[in-house]
Amino acid sequence: MIKTLTIVIVFTLAYQLCTIWQCRKVRLQVKDLAVGGIICALTIILSTIMIPLPTGATINLGSMIPLMLLALVYDEKIAMICGWICGILAMFLLPNWRPVHWAQVFVEHLVCFSCLGYTGIFGSSKRRDILLGAILAVTIKFLGHLISGVVFFSQNAWEGWGAWGYSFMYNLSSNLPESIASVVLLLVLPLKNIKNTIKRRVNG
């Protein structure tokens, strides 16, 4: 139990401090608030469309795409901040995101949306950079869900699986299909054209 708590504390502090440092120089403008508001709304709406799985988990229909796109075609730091806001809104608007403990907010809620901003951490000019950023983002998201499942939902573990095995398979069944679909979509979208269009609309 002590080892698990250590992992939780190290992961949570490392992620939150790193993300705060990434966003330290952000100065929000009116256009950022407008774009961010639209992205938050789309993320929450898509998160309500759920496909149930035999494991008890659900697959959300494209809920990761808005924040990942924002990171690639607008600003990854704005995407991280929007992710924090989505994590807070999820507590009130999404029934499957209700925290069972206050610490879950920091371990999962503020991680599993804001981490999608890391999709744009390597840039968007090359597919390799997009792929690396997307893999980093979905990996952090999975780890947030995994650790949260071990700490806060271990009582739901299937017989013989244990907390880690249960949380791993439960969250893998929901995160892997959506992550693969989201990454593939990002790689085929004309991001450069989308980015130029957004710049013209926002700055024009």
Please say whether the beta carbons of 161 and 36 come within 8 A.
Answer: no
The answer on pLDDT for 1 being more than 70 is: no
Q: What is residue 23's three-state secondary structure?
A: coil
Residue 10 CB coordination number (10 Å): 10
CB contact burial 86-110 (16+ within 10 A = b; e otherwise): bbebbeeebeebebeeeebebbbbb
Which tokens sit at 162? 């244990």
Instruction: Give yes or no for residue 2 having a pLDDT over 70.
Output: no
- Decide if pLDDT at 45 tops 80: yes
What are the extents of the domains in the chain?
2-203
Per-residue pLDDT tens digits for 60-115: 888 999 999 999 999 999 999 999 999 999 999 988 788 888 888 899 999 999 99
Global pTM reads: 0.92
What is the third-level CATH fold of 2-203? Arp2/3 complex 21 kDa subunit ARPC3 (1.10.1760)
Buried b (16+ CB within 10 A) or exposed e, 170-202: bbbbbbeebbeebbeebeeeebeeebeeeeeee
Half-sphere exposure of 24 (CA within 13 A, CB side): 6
Q: Averaged over 168-188, what is the pLDDT?
A: 94
Report the pLDDT value the prediction gives residue 138, as an integer from 0 to 100: 97
pLDDT value of position 119: 97
Helix H segments across 48-161?
Answer: 65-73, 76-93, 104, 110-112, 127-152
Which DSSP helix (H) or strand (E) runs through 163?
A: helix 162-188
Please report the pLDDT score of residue 203 as a whole number.
65
Instruction: Give the integer Cα–Cα distance in Å for 176 and 85.
Output: 24
